[in-house]
């Protein structure tokens, strides 16, 4: 997918205007609080996802206005397409190529993007929940069946947990636990296999990107950390193994009041030079890890869907040394990239493509 035009009206501080990006690299620079992140956020909303800043819909409308409107012209599936996104009355709606849809779900899978913003650093720094949701989010974009599977797993998990809390007071309920163990093991086995396969696909491009970012000076690796499978390979073996595991952990589960084993406790281990990036990585290394994962996510999405997602890199350059910055500015090849930074000097180190300055919500082309 290549974006050729974005126009905006009353979107946060982007009052009215248009953005005609380059088909490869776009550097958007400007001082703090001018609207650079707002511009990337506007592009991101066309994926159908929520704001990557966690904002609510009504916060996206310019202060004092009733509605915000965004229009995107892009080339995808071998033709030019247009999507219009309206945010009004606390809800978003979209029209695509002239057809109105009530909500924005139709956008999912039509416009694809991968975003890195400073908040995403917690992907490496924080606990496993965010890394699981990185895997799950990527898999949901790739495989709609996974969305359903995950939903079912979580529902069964909640029901099993509710039962675990009841058992100390109602011992007779113990016998019903096995039914939930079976359901959980069945879905859990599939989740483990789907995630393992995705990590296998992600691993190689992530290593290549990390190598590029670090000037080939550091080694990067990822690994799925799940329950010990005792040599399980097939879905049936995983299912049987998870079932046994749930049975052998019953006592712990009942006293904890929740399910202590299963894929809802898994992690994506990220290592630099053989050590956990979370505990031993420098700021720059942690940032490089997240970037490598995000760029690899784009690569896998492209190889499976046939369309290259646009890459949104918000404020990624700070805390990276000049070698790492140069890689991001000049080595991302054919992809369409939108990169924001504060420093006009850094923006000047990039040759070719588009250079834009954002000042108080107004965008101007700079040479
Ligand atoms: N709903 C809104 N209406 C008008 N302005 C907004 C709204 N939400 C945020 N802003 C303004 O947007 C600016 C921040 O934009 P942002 O894109 O985060 O800046 P930066 O250039 O630093 O990335 C602030 O000046 C803020 O007041
Ligand atoms: Mg910003």
Tens digit of pLDDT per residue, the chain (367 long)? 999 999 999 999 999 999 999 999 999 999 999 999 999 999 999 998 889 998 999 999 999 999 999 999 999 999 999 999 999 988 999 999 999 998 998 888 889 999 999 889 999 999 999 999 999 988 987 887 998 999 999 999 999 999 999 999 999 999 999 999 999 999 999 999 999 999 999 999 999 999 999 999 999 999 999 988 777 889 999 999 999 999 999 999 999 999 999 999 999 999 999 999 999 999 999 999 999 999 999 999 999 989 999 999 999 998 889 999 999 988 887 899 999 999 888 878 877 789 999 999 999 998 7
- What are the structural domain ranges in the chain? 2-112+309-365, 124-278
Distance from residue 169's CA to the centre of ligand 2 (Å) = 52
Q: What is the DSSP letter of 77?
A: T
Could you list the beta-strand ranges (E) of 36-180: 67-76, 79-88, 91-96, 99-101, 113-116
Residue nearest to atom 20 of ligand 1 (CA): 33
The pLDDT value recorded for residue 347 is 78
> 259: which 2 tokens?
């399910």
> 288: which 2 tokens?
């490089």
| Domain 124-278: CATH class, spelled out | mainly alpha
Q: Which atom of ligand 1 is nearest to the CA of 30?
A: 21
Q: Which atom of ligand 1 is nearest to the CA of 40?
A: 17
* CATH architecture of the domain formed by 2-112+309-365: 3-Layer(aba) Sandwich (3.40)
- The finding on whether 37 has its CB within 6 A of some atom of ligand 1 is yes
Do 138 and 114 touch, CB atoms closer than 8 A?
Answer: no
Residue nearest to atom 8 of ligand 1 (CA): 12
In the numeric block, the tokens 């990390």 are attached to: 210
Cα-only R_g, the chain = 23
| Cα 193–Cα 194–Cα 200 angle in degrees, nearest 5 | 90
């Amino acid at each position: 997918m290549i974006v050729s035009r974005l126009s905006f009206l009353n979107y946060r501080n982007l009052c009215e205007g248009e953005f005609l990006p380059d088909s490869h690299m776009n550097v958007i620079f400007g001082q703090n609080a001018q609207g650079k992140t707002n511009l990337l956020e506007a592009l991101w909303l066309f994926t159908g996802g929520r704001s990557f800043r966690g904002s609510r819909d009504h916060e996206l409308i310019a202060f004092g206005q009733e509605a915000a409107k965004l229009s995107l012209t892009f080339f995808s599936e071998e033709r030019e397409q247009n999507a219009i996104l309206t945010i009004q009355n606390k809800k978003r709606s979209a029209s695509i190529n002239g057809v109105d849809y009530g909500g924005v779900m139709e956008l999912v899978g039509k416009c694809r993007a991968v975003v890195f913003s400073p908040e995403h650093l917690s992907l490496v720094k924080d606990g496993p929940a965010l890394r699981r949701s990185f895997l799950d989010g990527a898999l949901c974009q790739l495989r709609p069946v996974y969305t359903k599977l995950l939903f079912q797993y979580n529902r069964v998990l909640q029901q099993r947990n509710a039962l675990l809390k009841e058992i100390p007071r109602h011992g007779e309920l113990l016998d019903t636990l096995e039914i939930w163990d079976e359901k959980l093991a069945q879905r859990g086995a599939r989740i483990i296999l789907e995630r393992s396969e995705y990590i296998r696909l992600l691993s190689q491009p992530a290593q290549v990107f990390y190598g590029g970012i670090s000037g080939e000076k550091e080694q990067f690796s990822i690994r799925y950390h799940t329950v010990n499978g005792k040599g399980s390979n097939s879905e049936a073996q995983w299912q049987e193994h998870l079932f046994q595991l749930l049975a052998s952990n019953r006592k712990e589960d009942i006293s904890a009041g929740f399910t202590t084993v299963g894929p809802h406790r898994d992690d994506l281990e990220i290592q630099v030079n053989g050590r956990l990036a979370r505990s031993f990585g420098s700021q720059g290394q942690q940032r490089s890890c997240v970037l490598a994962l995000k760029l690899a996510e784009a690569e896998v999405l492209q190889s499976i869907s046939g369309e290259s997602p646009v890459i949104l890199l918000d404020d990624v350059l700070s805390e990276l040394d000049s070698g790492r910055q140069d890689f991001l500015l000049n080595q991302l090849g054919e992809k369409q990239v939108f990169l924001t930074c504060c420093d006009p000097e850094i923006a000047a180190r990039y040759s070719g493509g588009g250079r834009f300055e954002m000042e108080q919500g107004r965008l101007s082309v700079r040479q």
